[in-house]
Structure 1
C-alpha cells in the first residue's frame, strides 16, 4: 500500500530513531499486560487506522496481551530502516512488506541474488503460512504469485491496487462536458483536447516523482497482454525477462517505441509546473481544485487521502486506455502490502491468531473500505466506495501488472527502463534517446 504522510524528513528521521522505544505504537497500556505482540507496517492513514482498531479488538479478545504498532513513513528510507532494525533485534511478530512476487526470484542462470522480502524468504527468515487455516480465505494462485517460493507461501498479500496508467477523475467536470470514461487511447486524447479548449488543464501529475511513467508502463502492459488470459501475466513477465537477459528483446523494440509515442501525446496535456509537484502532496492539491485538473495520474491507493482533502468531490477512477483496441485496455493489479511472520517472532502463535482475526471476512471488509484496496479474498467483492464503480465492472478480465526484466544489483537506473525525469517534456532528451540509453545500459549490466 502506497504511503502518505505529511511529516517532514526531519520528523520522519526522528520517528525512526525513536521506533525501537515505541514511536508509532498504537496501543495504550492495557493494564497488567504480560505479553506484547508487535505489529509493524509503513505509515498509510487508512491502513494505520484499521490496524489500530483491529489491535484494540485483539487485546479485548486476548486478556493479558498488548499489541504494539510500529510504523514509519515509506519514503527517504525511513520504513526500511525501521523494519531492518526490528528484524535484527528480533522484536517484531507480524511484519508488513511489499509483495516480493515471482520477479524477486530470478532463475539460477542469471546468478542474481534476491533482495528485500525475497531475500528474507530465501534466507529462511520468514515463516511458511501455506498450511494456516486463514489462508483458505484468499485466492491461492494470487497468494503464491505474490509471496510463494518452492511450493510454500510466506505471506498474506492483503492489499493490491491499480497502478500503471491509473487515473482519478472528477465526475462533475466530465459530466459538464458530456464525457464518459474513454475506452480507447484516441478517445482519451480527444477528451483532453476538448477540456484544454474549454480552458482547463486536463492532467495533474507528480512529475517530480515520475508518476507520469505510468502512462508508458500501462500502455506497454496492455499491449503485451493483448489477447492473453489474465492467468498468463506471470508467464508473460517471465518470458520477457528471459528474452531481455538473452538479448532477443530490448528497450528499443517497437512496442516500447509505440508506447513512448503515446506517452509524448499525453504529456502535452499535463500541468506546466508538474516537474515540481511531489507525490506526497499531489492528491490533496488536485482534490482541492474542484473546477480544474479533470484527471490525476496516480494509483488507486490514494482514495482515502483524496476524499479527506475534499469530501464533497464526486470522485471517479479508471485505468487509462493504452491502445485503440477497447478489449485490450484492461485493469492492471499490483500486489502490495503483504503480512509476514518472521521465524524469530517471539509470539508466533499469537501472530497467527492476529492474522486469523485480520482475515475474518467482516474485518477484512473493513480493511478494504479504509484502504481502498482491491479485494484478495474471492468471496468478498470490492467495497461499495462510489469511486470503485469502474474497477468493480472490470475485475473479470483484470490481470496482474507485468514485472520488469531482471536487472543486476548496482546497474544504472536506465537499465530497468526509461528514466522519465530525463525524457521530454520533463527532461531534455527525446524518447528515442532515452530508450537507446536504456537498451545500452541493460546490455552492459548483463554483459551482452
Structure 2
C-alpha cells in the first residue's frame, strides 16, 4: 500500500505488465543467457571497462535451476565486456533470504547490490541509512526509461532508493475441466465463492490448494480481505502505525472468513504444514480445483506444466457490503538496492544499466517470464498468453495496490501477525490474534 502513487500505479501498470509477470521458466535454449548483442551502459560503461580493477558483491534470491542460468549469464557477460570488473555473486533461496539480509545489514558484511522488496523493507533500509539514494547516480535517460509509476515503489520521501525489477499481483486460478464438469460459473462475490467451494466439496473435489508451511500463503488471503473489510484510511493509519490501533472489526472478520474456509474443509488436509510449492503441484495435477497465487507464478508453475486451456484465472471475489476499498488489489514489487557501504557505486549502477537495457530485459521476459519495468520493453506483446492477458485486463480496471502484510507494515508487527495467522488453524481465535497484533503495534509505536 503506497500512501501516494498507488492509484497512478494502477493506471500505468497497463504499460508495464502486458508481456508477462511470472517467476521463472526454462528458456527455449536452456541457457538463460542474456542477449549477446547487449551493450553495457553508455558513457559509464566505457570508463568502467577501462578503469582500475573493481570488485563488488551481488546477492539475489533466484536459486532455482530454471532461474539461476539467466542471472549467472548476465553477470558473466557483463564481466566479459568489462574485464576489470569482478562480480562476486551469492544466491540465497527465497525462504531464508529475509533473515539473511537482516543479519547482513546489521553487520559489516553487506552486499554492494542486493535484492529486496518494496514497502516497509525499502523504507526501513533507507531511513536507517543502509542503502544509497540513487538519484545522483542515475542519468536522466536511465531514470526516464522506467515506468514512472512503478518507479515510485522504490522511493522514500520522494527520493529514489531502489529500482523495481518486476510486479506481482494475486489471482484465483481454477481448473477449467473441473468447473465445467460441475457446472460452475465464475463467482463474483464472496458468498458465491463459498457456494462454489461447497459444491466442489460435495462432489468429492478438494476446492482450494493452499500450502502455509512457510507461513506466508494464508497471509495473502488476509492481506486481500483486510483491504476489502477495513476502511482505507483506517487501514493506512494502522499499517503505518499512525495510530496502529488495529481495532476495526474488519480485521477479525477477515480472519473469521479464512478460518471458516478451513473449518469447512475447503483446503486440503495438512494445509498448515504443507509448502506452497506442494500446493501448486496438487493444483497442477488436478487434485484441487483452485489455488490463490501470483501472476509471478503463472508461466513457470502453471503454463509450462499444465495442458493448454486447462486453467484460467479470476480476481478474488468481493465481500458484499464490505466497508473497505473493493477496487484495490494485492501486489508487490521486487527491487534492487545498493548498500551505503558500497565503495564503487558507479560501477554497480553501470551493471544495473546493463541489466535494464532493452535487449537484456527482453531476454529476461522470455527466459524468466518476469515483467520488465522498462516502459519500452514491457509494452511488447511477445511471450504473452491468454491467462496473463485476462489478468492484465483485471489489473487495468483496479484503482491501486496494497502489498502483502509482511512487506507493507512494520516488520515486528508483521511477524506477529503472520505467525499468528498460522495458529488461526490450530490454537488461536481471531480475537486473540488481533489482540496480540495490537499489543505489538503499541510496543513498536511507543519505541518509535
TM-score scaled by length of structure 2? 0.71
Which of 340, 364, 367 matches 2:337?
A: 340
Q: Any stretches of 5+ residues in structure 2 without a counterpart?
A: 1-20, 25-51
- In the aligned structure 1, how far is the partner of 2:402 from the partner of 2:426? 27
SS of residue paired to 2:423: coil
Residue 157 of structure 2 is aligned to residue 171 of structure 1: no
Which of 208, 219, 222 matches 2:225?
A: 219
More contact order relative to length (CA 8 Å, sep ≥ 6): 2
Q: Any stretches of 5+ residues in structure 1 without a counterpart?
A: 5-32, 106-113, 227-234
1:192–1:202 CA contact under 8 A, matched in 2: yes
1:58–1:357 CA contact under 8 A, matched in 2: yes
Paired residue for 2:116? 97
Paired residue for 2:428? 429
Paired residue for 1:296? 291
Paired residue for 1:194? 199
Cα–Cα, structure 1 residues 200 and 261, in superposed 2: closer, same or farther, change >3 Å?
same
Which of 64, 68, 72 matches 2:92?
A: 72
Deviation for aligned residue 1:78: 7.9
Deviation for aligned residue 1:418: 7.8
SS of residue paired to 2:177: helix
1:248-327 equivalences under 5 Å are 249-251=245-247, 253-267=248-262, 268=264, 269-287=266-284, 289-290=285-286, 292-307=287-302, 310-312=305-307, 314-324=310-320
RMSD: 3.9
SS of residue paired to 2:225: helix
Paired residue for 2:37? none
1:219–1:259 CA contact under 8 A, matched in 2: yes
- In the aligned structure 2, how far is the partner of 1:350 from the partner of 1:71? 20
- In the aligned structure 1, how far is the partner of 2:222 from the partner of 2:443? 23
Deviation for aligned residue 1:266: 2.7
Q: Which deviations, in whole Å up to 9, do the C-alpha atoms of 1:191-213 show, x marking residues without a partner?
A: 21222222100111113333223
- In the aligned structure 1, how far is the partner of 2:258 from the partner of 2:396? 27
Paired residue for 1:206? 211
- In the aligned structure 1, how far is the partner of 2:356 from the partner of 2:149? 17
1:184–1:321 CA contact under 8 A, matched in 2: yes
Cα–Cα, structure 1 residues 173 and 103, in superposed 2: closer, same or farther, change >3 Å?
same
Paired residue for 2:155? 148
Cα–Cα, structure 1 residues 308 and 406, in superposed 2: closer, same or farther, change >3 Å?
closer
Deviation for aligned residue 1:220: 1.4
Pairs aligned (count):
385
Residue 157 of structure 2 is aligned to residue 134 of structure 1: no
Paired residue for 1:401? 402
Deviation for aligned residue 1:427: 0.9
Query: Which one is further off, 124-133 or 184-193?
Result: 124-133
2:228–2:319 CA contact under 8 A, matched in 1: yes
